[in-house]
Amino acid sequence: MTDHVVDKSESGRVWLVGAGPGDPGLITIRGAQLLAEADLVLYDGLVNPLLLKLAKGNCERTARVRRAGHSIVPQEEINQRLIDAARAGQRVVRLKGGDPYIFGRGSEEAAALSAAGIPFEVVPGVTAATAAGEYAGFSYTHREISSAVAFITGHEDPTREGSRLDFQALARFPGTLVFYMGLSRLEELCERLIHAGMDESTPAAVICHATLSTQQVAEGTLKSLPHLVRGNGMTPPSLIVVGECVRQRSLLCWFEKLPLFGVSIAITRPEDQADEVAEDVVRLGGEAILVPMIEIAPVGPSQSICIADCMQRLSEFDWIVWTSGNGVSEFFRHLRLAGRDARALGGLKLACIGTSTASRLEQFGLSADLVPSQFRAESLGEAMRPLVQGRRVLWAKASRGRPVLPAILESAGATVEQLVVYENRDVSAFSDDIAERFRRGLISWVSLSSPSIARRFAALLNHAGIAPAELRTRIATISPVTTTAAEECGLQVSAEASMHTMSGILAAIQEQSGSR
């Protein structure tokens, strides 16, 4: 994808983009492209934060309802923010949960933009109603059950006198009824449908947090549903479904059977390394929470000079070793800056600590000559031991790292030069939201993928006033070395990956969580 260069002398533009119902994988390709090109993203309170990783510009949260301590932003203020940003020449994405126009006030925003002479486009999204039904196991239309579906607001404009809803007509509707935003009025809606003539035994259900790991579904009838929902902790966003399609759930339910459904996992890797594992967690039905312990940063000017010198004398080495994907990427970035390319490595042997690092190397057109069976420094060193006597080895590494690998190679008779190609910097603290979730035990697991990350996690817990030994979140580690580091910090480890990769951590969590 090419970068978009904005001409600030021209008027800006606004895109009203549907983010889908919650699962970040349900955004459209067009929506994802626009997020990457936007100068400003105004996102509403129902948007999954993982989608913001697609954005390159500034992101600002708006909310039309009060939730989790966030204040209400009046609709008029949102409209004016869109207009002002566009007039300043910015490309603006207004990111809205579900579809912009289906009970989303997108048309009101479009009208305000039109009146102000601001060009805009609308990018439809997967609306919450259709996604909720399909993730809950309901097919709203079915040739033997229903030939029609109606989307209805369960929360009309409070300033309007009377209701525009004709419950007599709704009671006679020959198909499925889907009410948006009606959880607080569930009992009233059911009673009005029954009073209008709908059979009280008509199947009905409530779906909350649809398409997310926290999805809840309550099934009953028009008569029993309010009692079933009352006091069970169901919270918005929600939909109410009325019709025979509710009976299909036992056959069509699939989402809640995924192996990590209901499981939240804190991913502590740097954000630029977390995308793939976060996607894996979501595809397995879980909630991926990005809680990076370290940040990846480029080296300073003085170290860049050292790297540039090294790039000109690569022929002096027999082996190059990488112990992270970041090390691979930064090495080749500096190689290009030095005016060289992969041909400079033509006479060298290449070693990688694991398959993910080797995969990063393959992105530069090269295959590793050696990848150990166990993805840890000790195994890499032992695999190289018989091959490096009298050889010169270059280790392209982070600013911090365990000294195990050079110690093993030097004991085998190799000469090792350590080249720092990127910086590891500690994250200073948890966000308030993440700290509170750890305090209350509202995160199921935390994944620790290196000893330094384990130590930093324990330090941040202490900084947040949480004793590591009292943590109610279970811990999964990538290797025995990481387990040892975690336990030395007072953390109790519940699972350890047998394959020392992030996929191995997820497999260990699945085994501990039990199959569904």
Residues 395 and 306 in one domain: yes
Residue 5 lies in a domain: no
Q: Which of 402, 422, 442 is the last residue of a domain?
A: 422
Phi and psi dihedrals of 244, rounded to 5?
A: -65, -20
Residue 318 lies in a domain: yes
Look up the CATH number of the domain holding residue 111: 3.40.1010.10
pLDDT at 104 (0 to 100): 87
pTM of the model: 0.82
Residue 8 lies in a domain: no
Q: Which of 202, 233, 257 is the last residue of a domain?
A: 257
Residue 2 lies in a domain: no
Looking at the structure of the chain, the number of domains it has is 4
Phi and psi dihedrals of 27, rounded to 5?
A: -70, 150
Site of tokens 């904005």: 6
Residues 85 and 187 in one domain: no
Q: And the tokens for 474?
A: 């279970």
Look up the CATH number of the domain holding residue 193: 3.30.950.10
Q: Which class for 22: exposed (0-12), middle (13-18), buried (19 or more C-beta within 10 A)?
A: buried
pLDDT in tens, the chain (516 residues): 444 444 444 569 999 999 999 999 999 999 999 999 999 999 998 899 999 999 999 999 887 554 545 567 889 999 999 999 999 999 999 999 999 999 989 999 999 999 999 999 999 999 999 999 999 999 999 988 899 999 999 876 655 666 788 999 999 999 999 999 899 999 999 999 999 999 999 999 999 999 999 999 999 999 999 999 997 889 999 999 999 999 999 999 999 999 999 999 999 988 878 888 999 999 999 999 999 998 888 999 999 999 999 999 999 999 999 998 889 999 999 999 999 999 999 999 999 998 889 999 999 999 999 999 888 889 999 999 999 999 999 999 999 878 899 999 999 999 999 999 999 888 889 999 999 999 999 999 999 998 889 999 999 999 999 999 999 999 999 999 899 999 999 999 999 999 888 899 999 999 988 644
Residue 363 lies in a domain: yes
Which residues in 69-106 are b (16+ Cβ under 10 Å) and which e? eeeebeeeebbebbbebbeeebbbbbbbbbbbbbbbbb
Q: Which class for 23: exposed (0-12), middle (13-18), buried (19 or more C-beta within 10 A)?
A: buried
- DSSP assignment string, 464-514: TT--GGG--SEEEESSHHHHHHHHHTTPPEEEE-SSSSHHHHHHHHHHHH-
Q: Which of 93, 126, 159 is the last residue of a domain?
A: 126
Residues 82 and 111 in one domain: yes
Which residues in 452-465 are b (16+ Cβ under 10 Å) and which e? bbbbbbbbbbeebe
Query: Per DSSP, what are the bridge partners of residue 422?
Result: 398
Sign, CA torsion 366/372/374/375: negative
Residue 436 lies in a domain: yes
Structural domain of 336:
299-422
Residues 143 and 249 in one domain: yes
Residue 7 lies in a domain: no
Cα dist. 513→81, 99, 157, 445, 509 in Å? 45, 34, 44, 10, 6
Residue 3 lies in a domain: no
Amino acid at 231: G
DSSP 331: H
325 Cβ neighbours under 8 A, 6+ residues apart: 273, 356, 357, 359, 360
- Do 91 and 98 contact (CB within 8 A), yes or no? no
